Amino acid sequence: MNIICMLLSWHCANAQPRIGMEGYSTSPAWYTQPVGRVYFENARGTYGEIRYNYDAERTLGVSVGHAFRGGAAGASGWSVAPMVGLFAGAGQGFSVGCNATLERGSVSFSSTDQLMGSVNSPNAASFYSWSELGRQMDKYLYAGVTFMGDRCAPDGRLAPGDRPAPAAWVASVGPELRLCLGDWNFPVYFFVPTTGKGYWLLGVEREWSLAAPVINHQKRTYYK
């Protein structure tokens, strides 16, 4: 079961070269191993990322795409990044997805959707969606609410032991608090699924700009 998708909104009309990393861990009842992701975007908007334990446990995933951005400092900013990718390991297949963000002042909205198909079984497919709405309360604190939905086929992504019958839709919603310390972010989520027990999700994130910013921007939560 895919459980991670962070989102980062930017007040930039032009893409800035950047590289970032993210690491997350959750309750033993869900993933048994930490989830990691490294991403890169150049000045032309070409985007790529490498993931481990993200698409499925013990699985490495790679995706590439292009980020389209608009907006300016002090006004609404937006971004849309369609991507295609492959994953291999305990799960093998392909993915098609799109990440989108919208920001106005201190309020930001982000959404990530991903469709995954299995090479091992043509009938196995899964769909994952993550949406987040929140506000930067001050320099150090971001607060929001997150919705996560996941629909897996019988032999799709690995899932927690208490998940419902195969091919069922699992929806979870919960609050987020994010501690922002300079370039380091420490998000904490608590999800309450429609079935099973609630669980915590803890993360650490860092991003580096590879060029001086053209206009000022403010970090929110990332896309992941």
State which residues form the domain around 119.
18-209
Residue 67's CATH number: 2.40.160.40
The model's confidence at residue 158, banded by pLDDT at 50, 70 and 90, is very low
**pLDDT for the residue numbered 214:** 39
Backbone angles phi and psi of 150, in degrees to 5: -145, 125
The reply to whether 216 falls in a domain is: no
Q: What is the pLDDT of residues 58-114, one digit of tens each?
A: 889 999 999 998 886 556 889 999 999 999 988 788 999 998 999 988 999 999 898
Sequence-ordered list of residues with C-beta below 8 angstroms from that of 56, at least 6 positions apart, any chain: 2, 87, 89, 90, 91, 157, 158
**pLDDT for the residue numbered 12:** 41
The reply to whether 188 falls in a domain is: yes
**pLDDT for the residue numbered 55:** 80
The reply to whether 191 falls in a domain is: yes
Mean pLDDT of the chain: 77
Q: In this structure, is the dihedral angle defined by the CA atoms of residues 16, 21, 27 and 33, taken in order, positive or negative?
A: positive
The reply to whether 3 falls in a domain is: no
The reply to whether 163 falls in a domain is: yes
The reply to whether 13 falls in a domain is: no
Q: Tally Cβ neighbours within 10 Å of residue 6.
A: 26
Has this prediction a pTM greater than 0.85?
no
**Looking at this protein, which amino acid is placed at residue 7?**
L
Q: Residue 115 forms beta bridges with which residues?
A: 96, 127
The reply to whether 70 falls in a domain is: yes
Tell me how many domains the chain contains: 1
The reply to whether 190 falls in a domain is: yes
**Looking at this protein, which amino acid is placed at residue 119?**
V
The model's confidence at residue 174, banded by pLDDT at 50, 70 and 90, is very high
- Which one is predicted more confidently, 212 or 60? 60
